[in-house]
């Protein structure tokens, strides 16, 4: 997701399906999330239900690193730096992250020797929003994020955004590391974020 239509080409070249939306517009974010969730469910059902031996689904964590929305100077980092990415509710939603370079390596490993099935391509350190968001703000030299109640969060990010901030559950990369002979070079967002700015 990007706010800038001019970045669509770059995202397409990276293999993403770009969606132009304002991250602060609840309706646009909700529509982008609905589209993505529907596409992922359809893809997983199609691949895992297919009558073939080669069907691999990769579920990626939240991307960060060069060329992503979470990179120095990019949208999310700047929102956090300017305190426009609030901590909603208790911030208990658990996120899993993955550096873009690690995601690329896992994808190659899956293509070369992945078995039929689904793999979580994430780092080793899923963390609640209440932990990673203040840590990232500190890394960026920003003040702690504002904390807002759920009903205010809905105004910023819609119901889908509030659910991500409060109810999301992280993922384990155990199957991917075991079966793909892959390990993330950035095992934790903690070191990865610190190296990015």
| HEC sequence for the chain | CECCHHHHHHHHHCCCCCCECCCCCHHHHHHHHHHHHHHHHHHHHHHHCCCCCCCEEEEECEEECCCCCCCCCCHHHHHHHCCCCCEECCCCCEECEEEHHHHHHHHHHHHHHCCCEEEEECCCCCEEHHHHHHHHHHHCCCCCCCEECHHHHHHHHHHHHHHHHHCCCCCCCHHHHHHCCCCCCCCCHHHHHHHCC
In a domain, 190, yes or no: yes
Is pTM beyond 0.75? Reply is: no
- pLDDT tier at 67 (50, 70, 90 boundaries)? confident
Token pair for 31: 């529509």
Q: Residue 65 belongs to a domain with what CATH number?
A: 3.40.50.720
Domain range enclosing 172: 55-195
**For residues 29 and 88, is the Cβ–Cβ distance under 8 A?**
no
In a domain, 33, yes or no: no
Tell me: the pLDDT tens digits for 161-171?
A: 899 999 999 99
Residue % of the chain over a pLDDT of 70:
78
Tell me: the pLDDT tens digits for 134-188?
A: 999 999 899 999 999 999 988 878 888 899 999 999 999 999 999 999 999 999 9
Token pair for 33: 């999330």
Q: List Cα–Cα distances, 112 to 20, 33, 60, 115, 186, in angstroms.
A: 32, 30, 18, 10, 21
In a domain, 102, yes or no: yes
* Whether pLDDT at 6 is above 80: no
In a domain, 188, yes or no: yes
Number of domains composing the chain? 1
The pLDDT of residue 105 is 95
In a domain, 36, yes or no: no
In a domain, 159, yes or no: yes
Token pair for 10: 């770059």
Average pLDDT, the chain: 83
In a domain, 44, yes or no: no
In a domain, 124, yes or no: yes
């Amino acid at each position: 997701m990007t706010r800038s239509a001019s970045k669509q080409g770059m995202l397409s070249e990276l293999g993403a399906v770009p969606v132009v939306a304002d991250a602060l517009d609840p309706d646009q974010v909700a529509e982008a999330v609905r589209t993505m969730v529907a596409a992922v469910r359809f893809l997983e059902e199609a691949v895992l239900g297919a009558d073939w031996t080669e069907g691999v689904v990769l579920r990626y964590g939240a991307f960060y690193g060069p060329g992503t929305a979470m990179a120095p100077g990019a949208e999310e980092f700047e929102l956090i730096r300017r305190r426009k990415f609030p901590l909603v509710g208790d911030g208990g939603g658990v996120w899993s992250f993955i550096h873009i370079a690690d995601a690329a390596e896992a994808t190659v490993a899956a293509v070369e020797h992945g078995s039929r099935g689904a793999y979580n391509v994430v780092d080793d350190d899923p963390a609640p929003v209440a932990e990673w968001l203040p840590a990232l703000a500190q890394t960026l030299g920003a003040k702690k994020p504002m904390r807002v109640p759920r009903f205010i969060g809905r105004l910023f990010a819609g119901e889908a955004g509030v659910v991500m901030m409060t109810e999301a559950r992280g993922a384990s990369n155990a199957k991917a590391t075991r079966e793909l002979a892959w390990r993330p070079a950035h095992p934790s967002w903690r070191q990865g974020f610190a190296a990015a700015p």
